[in-house]
Structure 1
Amino acid sequence: MTDRPGGAGHRRVSEDERDTAVRRLQEAYTEGHVTHEEMDGLLHQVLTATTRGELASALTSLPEEAAGATSTIAVVSGRILRRGAWRVPRILRVESALGRVRLDLSRAVIEHPVVDIELRLGTGGARITVPRDAIVDVEDLRTGWKDPLYTTRRRSRPGGPTIRISGTLGLGRLKIRHARR
């Protein structure tokens, strides 16, 4: 299966994506999944990759990330609410046919430099509060009714997590805001 030009595999690699790939390589090496020679070659591929597709092909021989790295929250109808000190997985899938979604990451424990939130929402809006220093990417989100409401912060301290929001949003609107404190 080849990506069409301009698809996700042809997008330029961000520094956070490259850092995450290097971390995965280091973990695979320390766990004995790759030899020293393989590590050198894969590290060269990761550091010279310019597109997401090239980066992904460098990581295909690695084992999948730990099972705890992906979680799914699903409900047919009703409300999804996460707030306070909760542990955010590397990939969070949120699925709801009818209802509202409220994710507050401002006090959450975020252990990964990049967090992917995949939304699969039918009817109902979503509100996501991100940490003050977070960088938000909504490039891969498809909406059926209204565009997301998000204003990029003018000043952001370095070192915050990157929150990538993707998926589909049917009838409803996504509102993203940075925490005030």
Structure 2
Amino acid sequence: MASLPEQPPTLISEIDRDTAVRRVQEGYAEGHLSPEEMDERLHQVLTAKTRGELVSALASLPEKPAESPVTIAAAGGRIQRRGGWQVPRNLKVESAFGRVRLDLSRAVIEHPVVDIELQLGTGTGTGTGRARITVPRDATVEVGELHTGWKDWRYKVPRRSRPGGPTIRISGAMGYGRLKIRHARR
């Protein structure tokens, strides 16, 4: 039986590179790097081709302080984000009856960890908010404290994980809806 070919490492975008350059410069300005270390890390960032190379260039730099959550809310309509939208470090999604679709597969994710708190169908006690979250192929998904009133959440871990992507942590509460999490196909 022939083995499957290895998946190539995730390539970075210019937005990823620009974000990493800013983090190195901020690390220098805050006194975490010497001028020599800054030059070396900027060289690493500017020549990096994969997320893994960027991660190593940013190693030992402190995380940015926790930001207050950005909230997206709707009483009954659909909440949808897709394409090249900017994903905040902390995202709170609130909906009493509507559907939620978050597609992170092509989104701009500047943080190694993204926390998503779902509050769906919980405000009235009879809400039915449903959610589908699509994460990048190289993302790691952690479902923390997610309280469901009726149906459990669904997430199928991919057979072949690709290191170097962001960690998406999901928590919160859902009334009578269902959460489906999947990895992007490409």
**Per the shorter chain, which TM-score range?**
0.5 to 0.7
SS at match of 1:136: strand
Once the two structures are superposed, the pairs formed by residues 34-49 of structure 1 within 5 Å of their partners are: none
Is 2:138 aligned against 1:125? Answer: no
TM-score normalized by structure 1? 0.63
SS at match of 1:176: strand
Any conservation in 1 of the 2:85–2:108 contact (CA below 8 Å)? yes
Query: Partners in 2 of 1:174 and 1:109 — Cα distance?
Result: 22
Query: Partners in 1 of 2:135 and 2:65 — Cα distance?
Result: 27
What is the deviation of 1:170? 0.6
Match of 1:81? 80
What is the deviation of 1:173? 0.2
Q: Which of 170, 179, 185 is equivalent to 1:174?
A: 179
Once the two structures are superposed, the pairs formed by residues 1-181 of structure 1 within 5 Å of their partners are: 31=30, 64-66=65-67, 70-122=69-121, 123-181=128-186
What is the deviation of 1:29? 9.4
4+ aligned runs moved over 6 Å, structure 1: none
Identity rate of aligned residues, in percent? 73
Please, what is the CA RMSD of the aligned residues? 2.4
What is the deviation of 1:98? 1.1
Query: Partners in 1 of 2:120 and 2:159 — Cα distance?
Result: 29
Query: What letter corresponds to residue 138 of structure 2 in structure 1?
Result: D
Query: Partners in 2 of 1:156 and 1:64 — Cα distance?
Result: 29
Query: Partners in 1 of 2:98 and 2:111 — Cα distance?
Result: 28
What is the deviation of 1:64? 4.9
Query: Partners in 1 of 2:100 and 2:135 — Cα distance?
Result: 14
What is the deviation of 1:89? 0.4
Query: What letter corresponds to residue 115 of structure 2 in structure 1?
Result: D
Query: Partners in 1 of 2:132 and 2:66 — Cα distance?
Result: 28
Query: Partners in 2 of 1:88 and 1:94 — Cα distance?
Result: 12
Post-superposition Cα deviations, 1:41-72, rounded to whole Å, max 9, x if no partner, equal: xxxxxxxxxxxxxxxxxxxxxx95356xx311
What is the deviation of 1:28? 8.8
What is the deviation of 1:155? 1.2
TM-score normalized by structure 2? 0.62
- Go from structure 1 to structure 2 and tell me whether the alpha carbon gap of 1:84 and 1:76 turns closer, same or farther (over 3 Å shift): same
